[in-house]
Structure 1
């Protein structure tokens, strides 16, 4: 088996448990012969010599900030063939102020609709936990990341994603239009997507708010297969 070099970059908002979440996948990476380096900030992205070593980047950094040289280094590494993957806010709600980062990822968290106002508790994350379905697209039913997976249900944050059409959508989720919200019809958002960028591959899953969600067999399968698929191919 060929050994690969993986970089885990984690940090940002603690509510997404970046340390506990990323460490859930260390045994999987080890079992597939990845050598793993862990960094607690995106500073390494600016080091071109180090970045050239990695075949895969697993990012879990919600919000936070990234400098111009760091995002340029990340984009260059992906374009040169380094894979990039992640889940939920750790990749789809990272570095909001960087247009270059948002263009690289192809989809950005906008909001997560919540429970009816009468059911909300002040400040509780659970206000945004909804029952929803992740539905496979025709492409998703054939793609190696999601092939063989049926549509599945979750109760967690349901991401409303702003996106472009350079992504390949493997699964979607549809937000209803309840009477307490201002939108007038259901909105379908990508829930799992891939993207080709230069010689590199990206894979994003919007599910993954907490270790409990990441432990869902469907979510975990998508993330683990996404790591393998995104890894440098040449």
Structure 2
């Protein structure tokens, strides 16, 4: 099974500069300065597949060149069998997954959960980790939330940067999106970095609801980062959306190397 998993790895070959988006100097500079220590020499597993509407293959062309440009050793797999390779999963520093819906076997899920619990970082966006494997509740416990609706489909909405002190969102202001506004069921113990408010235009009973857009959390010893932005790759032409995702990847990549952050703050108190 290990050999089969290894055969599924795809060493992508892309034209230099492919998938790179231009962002304002003040934004791109912050990514560059952090990336040298966060990704250089790190082993990254990039797993893509599932529902094609979220452009999993196109995401490879956008994010893998960037990961490699920062010095990461990236393996790309279009199969969940990568999670069966114990030697690989023990060695990775970071897993980036974009796999919407679909199914995962018990053994595949076990391999993924074990790697993160032992300290590998996990990062992803939108349905790529926030709407994967709908029958797997332990997986959802790891991610910290699950997509349940996007009222109105692709609409205009605002993302509110609610935490401007965290390195992932520091220096960023509120910004507009034209995409799916994700309504999520969310773990009350995640550290929320950005939110969005629903107007009620498309579902009147949720008018005024504030739902997390960006968060980070732990699962065991592993750092988990999630952003609901990124329905299609064009969404990352919004500089803040791309910046947040890149910074989140950088944060998750240091899971095995930086002290555990202490910010557990339950929403419901008690």
Common fold: TM-score over 0.5 = yes
Instruction: Report the equivalent of 2:48.
Output: 10
Instruction: Report the equivalent of 1:205.
Output: 227
> Contact between 1:176 and 1:185, CA under 8 Å: does it hold in 2?
yes
Deviations 1:12-49 (A, max 9, x none): 00001101113201222112110110111211112222
Instruction: Report the equivalent of 1:125.
Output: none
> Which 5+ residue runs of structure 1 have no aligned equivalent?
115-127
> Contact between 2:198 and 2:206, CA under 8 Å: does it hold in 1?
no
Name the structure where strand makes up a greater proportion of residues: 1
Correspondence list, 1:49-198, <5 A? 49-114=87-152, 128-137=153-162, 140-178=163-201, 181-183=203-205, 185-198=207-220
Instruction: Report the equivalent of 1:46.
Output: 84
Report the Cα distance in structure 1 between the residues aligned to 2:53 and 2:150, rounded to whole angstroms. Answer: 15
> Contact between 1:22 and 1:60, CA under 8 Å: does it hold in 2?
no
Matched, 1:224 2:246: yes
Moved over 2 A (4+): none
> Contact between 2:195 and 2:212, CA under 8 Å: does it hold in 1?
yes
Q: What secondary structure sits across from 1:25 in the alignment? A: helix
> Which 5+ residue runs of structure 2 have no aligned equivalent?
1-35, 258-270
Report the Cα distance in structure 1 between the residues aligned to 2:170 and 2:49, rounded to whole angstroms. Answer: 31
Q: How many residues align?
A: 218
Shift of 1:182: 4.7
> Contact between 2:158 and 2:174, CA under 8 Å: does it hold in 1?
yes
Instruction: Report the equivalent of 1:120.
Output: none
> Contact between 2:145 and 2:187, CA under 8 Å: does it hold in 1?
yes
Query: Relative to 1, partners in 2 of residues 1:155 and 1:184: Cα closer, same or farther, differing over 3 Å?
Result: closer
Q: What secondary structure sits across from 2:113 in the alignment? A: helix
Name the structure where helix makes up a greater proportion of residues: 2
Report the Cα distance in structure 2 between the residues aligned to 1:173 and 1:101, rounded to whole angstroms. Answer: 24
TM normalised by structure 1 equals: 0.89
RMSD: 1.3
> Contact between 2:216 and 2:223, CA under 8 Å: does it hold in 1?
yes
